[in-house]
A and B are shown apart, each in its own frame.
Chain A
């Protein structure tokens, strides 16, 4: 079974400091990779997909096939970034697999 690992359940970062949320995936080929964000008591929203190579709200994610990682980064954290972040992997005809999530708290 495919697995997505987000090693940090909780992450606290000071406002203005860089943010990195870690994600490691299990598939050795070329999966589709996603980051979803969930603000307090709201629905999950797609933050970015690796195939789009886009930057949303200042976040970027780089695919590292050698390390099978897809870490989410932002150079300067803002208070509104406090949320739950989920990494997800999609492989072929299999369902999307989510990690267990990282709760990011930005300290003012």
Chain B
């Protein structure tokens, strides 16, 4: 049982480049989330998917898009990366939107030059 997995672990981008961060969970969870973690800002929710087939904006969605590919996978796309998107990105999942305990992936460190 791998839990929540994320790829890549680390990525360097140039301003304007695009990339997709991948997330998968094997716990049969319905809800999935993308956060960014910045020093002094804590965790901020970018997008979430309460259930397969639905996605919603979180606190800081600008510059990002998401796809809930199936129940297991939830990807985050940066269409045109900016230095302000340099951060650590965490994916998480929970049994459902009302079952609040979330389980986190190992994170992706993204550096945008």
How many of B's residues come within 8 Å of A, CB to CB? 22
Question: In the complex, are the beta carbons of A49 and B101 less than 8 A apart?
Answer: yes
Given A43-B107, A44-B104, also A9-B97 (CB < 8 A): no
- Specify the main secondary structure of chain B where it touches its partner: strand
A32 contacts across to B, CB distance below 8 A: 100
Given A9-B40, A86-B43, also A96-B104 (CB < 8 A): no
Question: Complex formed: what's the CA distance from A32 to B43 in Å?
Answer: 18
Per-residue contact bits, chain A 33-77, to B (CB 8 Å; 1 contact, 0 not): 010100000111110010000000000000000000000000000
Question: In the complex, are the beta carbons of B105 and A43 less than 8 A apart?
Answer: yes
Question: In the complex, are the beta carbons of B100 and A45 less than 8 A apart?
Answer: no
Question: Complex formed: what's the CA distance from A32 to B52 in Å?
Answer: 24
In this complex, what residue of A is CB-closest to B56? A95
Question: Complex formed: what's the CA distance from A54 to B40 in Å?
Answer: 29
Question: In the complex, are the beta carbons of B102 and A96 less than 8 A apart?
Answer: yes
Question: In the complex, are the beta carbons of A90 and B103 less than 8 A apart?
Answer: no
A25 interface residue per 8 A CB criterion: no
A100's partner among B42, B97, B98, B102 (CB-CB below 8 A) is B42
In this complex, what residue of B is CB-closest to A52? B101
Question: In the complex, are the beta carbons of B100 and A90 less than 8 A apart?
Answer: yes
B104 contacts across to A, CB distance below 8 A: 36, 43-45
In this complex, what residue of B is CB-closest to A97? B45
B61 interface residue per 8 A CB criterion: no
B48 contacts across to A, CB distance below 8 A: 95
Q: Could you tell me which B residues sit within 8 Å of A by CB distance?
A: 4, 33, 40-43, 45, 48, 58, 90, 92, 94, 97-98, 100-107
Known contacts A44-B43, A44-B104; can you find 4 more A-B pairs with CB under 8 A?
A: A32-B100, A42-B106, A43-B90, A95-B48
